[in-house]
């Protein structure tokens, strides 16, 4: 019901832009395709086919009324159908509410003015404030999509809106030479904040910069703007960007990244990862925090087990975005084709929360900074772990998931690639 409410809210916000403006938006082929997909996936077998009205219609064109009708049909669908439809629509909606080229033009311009505007919206957040965020370069499309689907909490916006940096103009800036390309909902917030406590490490203005998603045009100009997001004091020797979903840029044809500026400009898969290398250099290091893919999907979505498994016929997958991404090795192989294997540290979420100090020691050694022993209260879980939102699955679901040939094959390839043994499915 929450996801349905968000969809209805999105449609109402769209109509509030005026029928004429929305009509222009709906002329775009990608939006037209989304409407058709929404109709197809939400139609009940007894429901007559939805067709645009002829001639002038109240509130705008036939397409507008078609969307309204599609939304009405959603009230008769299952949660699984709603999840699939929301996923398809949200991939396009946020970007198409923006002016053509606006993201590319403002890439890297998440300045103090934009940050202050975004913070003011989230400080007193309401759905009516969403249009104010659609062109803000500090607000990630990934997060907007999550809010629209009811999968993200607006209160978590601090992770990418960050903090006010005192005396910023007198501080040096450092281009990050460390990327966290692990998973959301795996301990990224806890680990990033614990790393941030080290005097030689800093994530700059915020934990999740989301800037690399906006890469287009001159890599040199982009590099300068990106580096400006990491003002640090003289003791800091390494900066890092903990934007977890960056990992999936390595997944060829990723449904989300093909719509992002970097995907549209350079492509997904190996070409997109090479573009990152052009900006950051070949010596950048990577921390990858992984989690049992069944638990990860369960924490991200209410999709039923069959959608978490997905169906993959031949070379063309027919699965949800999460199911496609859950074979982590598909994305990681690409990154390790571009960067040396020694540049990667593979961590496991359960082990991290079981013994965070041991994981931090691995991180410090990997980066090349001295170890710090933290107090117990400094290692308390943060982010979603702190809030108590845990993934739960039944023993039967776990058994079925890990009996699937694709899941077993993905795990085997991941263990070979990383040189690690992951005990997933053994519980």
Identify which of 111, 145, 181, 106 has the alpha carbon closest to the alpha carbon of residue 10. 145
Give the pLDDT band of residue 358 (cuts 50, 70, 90): very high
Q: How many CB atoms lie within 10 A of CB 245?
A: 22
In angstroms, the CA 305 to CA 283 distance is 40
Provide the sign of the torsion angle of the four alpha carbons 110, 280, 364, 355, taken in this order: positive
In angstroms, the CA 89 to CA 80 distance is 15
CA 55 vs. chain centroid, Å, equals: 40
The CATH code of domain 163-418 reads: 3.40.50.300
What is the reported pLDDT for 312?
64
pLDDT tops 50 at residue 134: yes
Identify the bridge partners of residue 202 per DSSP, sorted by sequence position. 239
Give per-residue pLDDT as tens, 77-105.
Answer: 343 443 333 333 333 333 333 333 333 44
Give per-residue pLDDT as tens, 382-403.
Answer: 654 433 445 578 899 999 999 9
In angstroms, the CA 420 to CA 414 distance is 8
Query: Beta strands of 338-398 (E only): which ranges?
Result: 344-348
Give per-residue pLDDT as tens, 11-66.
Answer: 444 444 444 444 443 444 333 333 333 333 333 333 333 333 333 333 333 333 33
- Residue 418's H or E segment, with its range, is helix 405-418
Give the pLDDT band of residue 202 (cuts 50, 70, 90): very high
Give per-residue pLDDT as tens, 241-298.
Answer: 999 999 999 999 999 999 999 999 999 999 999 999 999 999 999 999 999 999 999 9
13 three-state secondary structure: helix
Percent share of the chain, pLDDT over 70: 64
Give the tokens for residue 388. 């108590």
pLDDT tops 80 at residue 159: no
Give the tokens for residue 108. 């890297």
Give per-residue pLDDT as tens, 299-312.
Answer: 888 788 888 887 66
What is the reported pLDDT for 232?
93
- The packing angle between helices 19-26 and 29-42, to 10°, is 90
In angstroms, the CA 133 to CA 184 distance is 22
Identify which of 245, 249, 157, 258 has the alpha carbon closest to the alpha carbon of residue 206. 157
Q: How many CB atoms lie within 10 A of CB 382?
A: 17
In angstroms, the CA 248 to CA 251 distance is 5
Regarding predicted confidence, which is higher, 130 or 38? 130
């Amino acid at each position: 019901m929450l996801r349905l409410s968000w969809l209805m809210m999105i449609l109402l916000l769209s109509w509030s832009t005026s029928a004429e403006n929305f009509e222009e938006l709906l002329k775009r082929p990608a939006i037209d395709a989304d409407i058709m997909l929404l109709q197809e996936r939400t139609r009940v077998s007894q429901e007559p086919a939805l067709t645009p009205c002829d001639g002038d219609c109240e509130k705008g064109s036939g397409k507008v009324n078609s969307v309204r009708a599609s939304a009405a049909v959603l009230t008769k669908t299952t949660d699984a159908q709603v999840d699939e439809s929301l996923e398809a629509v949200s991939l396009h909606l946020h970007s198409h509410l923006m002016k053509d080229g606006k993201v590319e033009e403002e890439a890297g311009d998440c300045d103090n003015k934009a940050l202050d505007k975004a913070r003011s919206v989230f400080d007193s957040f309401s759905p009516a404030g969403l249009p104010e965020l659609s062109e803000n370069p500090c607000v990630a499309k990934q997060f907007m999509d999550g809010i629209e689907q009811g999968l993200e909490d607006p209160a978590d916006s601090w992770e990418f809106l960050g903090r006010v940096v005192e005396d910023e103009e007198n501080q040096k800036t450092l281009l990050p030479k460390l990327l966290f390309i692990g998973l959301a909902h795996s301990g990224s917030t806890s680990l990033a904040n614990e790393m941030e406590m080290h005097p030689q490490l800093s994530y700059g203005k915020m934990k999740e910069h989301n800037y690399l998603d906006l890469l287009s045009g001159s890599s040199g100009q982009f590099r300068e703007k990106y580096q400006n997001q990491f003002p640090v004091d003289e003791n800091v020797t390494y900066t890092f960007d903990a934007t977890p979903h960056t990992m999936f840029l390595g997944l060829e044809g990723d449904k989300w990244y093909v719509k992002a500026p970097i995907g549209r400009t350079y492509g997904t898969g190996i070409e997109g990862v090479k573009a990152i290398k052009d900006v950051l250099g070949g010596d950048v290091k990577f921390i990858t925090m992984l989690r049992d893919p069944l638990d990860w999907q369960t924490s991200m979505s209410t999709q039923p087990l069959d959608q978490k498994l997905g169906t993959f016929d031949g070379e063309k997958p027919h699965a949800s975005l999460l199911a496609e991404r859950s074979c982590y090795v598909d994305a990681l192989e690409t990154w390790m084709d571009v960067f040396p294997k020694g540049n990667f540290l593979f961590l496991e979420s359960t082990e991290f929360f079981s013994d965070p100090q041991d994981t931090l020691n691995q991180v410090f050694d990997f980066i090349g900074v001295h170890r710090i022993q933290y107090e117990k209260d400094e290692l308390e879980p943060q982010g979603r772990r702190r809030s108590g939102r845990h993934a739960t699955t039944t023993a039967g679901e776990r058994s079925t998931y890990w009996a699937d040939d694709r899941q077993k094959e993905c795990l085997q390839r991941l263990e070979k690639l990383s040189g690690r043994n992951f005990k997933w499915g053994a519980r």
